[in-house]
Amino acid sequence: MSLSIVTVCMNRSHHLLQSAPRVAALPWHSEHLVVDWSSREPLRREQLPPDPRLRLLRVEGELQWNLCRAYNFAVAQSRGELILKLDADAWPSARFDPGASQLAVAGRPCAFGSGGEGRKGQMLLARSLFEAVGGFHELLVGYGFDDKELRIRLSQLLAQEPAWIPADWLELISHTDAERAGGQTGAGSLLASQGLAAMRASRLANRLVAAHAPWGAAARHCSYAKEPGGGWRLVAGSRPQLEAESADEIDHARRMTFWGCFLAIPDIFLEELPIKLVPPPRSGQWQVRWWHRLWWHSGRRLLHGPSLLLSLGRGHLARVRRSAGPDFQDQGR
């Protein structure tokens, strides 16, 4: 069976330029379809390996990243009977064998990545399976739960769990989940904290979306039209929408989760703040102002103090018990 590798990229050409040559060196795929999802600086074909199997398409007019819509578009444009979904920072290792029986379920390839650093977001699927469940859930936005939600629907279709791709069959450029969600760097920094908060808010919101609006092959999918210049653009009015009541509830949960995590303020107090102080995201971006940064460097750190003291106290007590031996431990019971 012919195999298409699909990769979608938005403003991550620095990762793609590292991974694409490694993909081009593979002998077993018939196509590598790269989709530029409205990157600020458009990808150019000459930046990518001169592999005749590599095709580059561009979708215009997208203001923010949407993995589910982007990969549904990519799969629809690909040609292979098998689909290997690889993010821009990933490539198969020398061990990867797309024909391995351990990657098949009920006689059809259906396997998800295992291990850390984003490996679980990579997958090998028979096109027929992907289409039978309707592909990715296009109402999910941001980062997180998209692969798990797809895996759940495949499990229901097959009446058994998909297989796992061994962790050492995939290579990735190392960066944290929080960086994937928020594009932030600096472990322990304000930016890393902001990225972590964005990741948690996105994951929770996507779980709620999946519960409110189940997805499947009969669901309304986005449509795209090819433009005279060769690019593609979303057809106006084709994007599926949540019901207004559900959307309001989920947006509120997303907002509370982000600011609660980032500022370390409990929901009960966040609810009392004016919405202009803890606003919803704008075009997918959280607007962190000077007063948020001031609180993060002052009030949040003060709130962190008691938990650090408790943690240090527990650690010290555990060391005392270990050094005192079993007699002391028996007295403590």
Which is it for the CA torsion 198, 199, 203, 209, positive or negative?
A: positive
Give the separation between CA 98 and CA 165, rounded to whole angstroms: 10
Residue 329's pLDDT is: 52
Is pTM beyond 0.85? Reply is yes
Q: Name the more confident of 306 and 167.
A: 167
Give the separation between CA 107 and CA 262, rounded to whole angstroms: 46
Determine the 3-state secondary structure of 312 from DSSP.
helix
What's CA 25's distance to the chain center, in Å?
Answer: 26
Give the separation between CA 132 and CA 155, rounded to whole angstroms: 12
**Reported confidence tier of residue 188, pLDDT bands at 50, 70, 90:** low
Tell me which fold the domain 3-177 belongs to.
Spore Coat Polysaccharide Biosynthesis Protein SpsA; Chain A (3.90.550)
Give the separation between CA 284 and CA 262, rounded to whole angstroms: 16
Which residues sit opposite 17 in a β-bridge?
A: none
Which residues sit opposite 60 in a β-bridge?
A: 233
Tell me if 231 sits within 8 A of 59, measured CB to CB: yes
> What mean pLDDT, rounded, does the chain reach?
90
Q: Name the more confident of 267 and 84.
A: 84
Determine the 3-state secondary structure of 230 from DSSP.
coil
Which is it for the CA torsion 144, 148, 149, 154, positive or negative?
A: positive
Q: Give pLDDT tens digits for 116-161.
A: 778 899 999 999 999 999 999 999 998 889 999 999 999 999 999 9
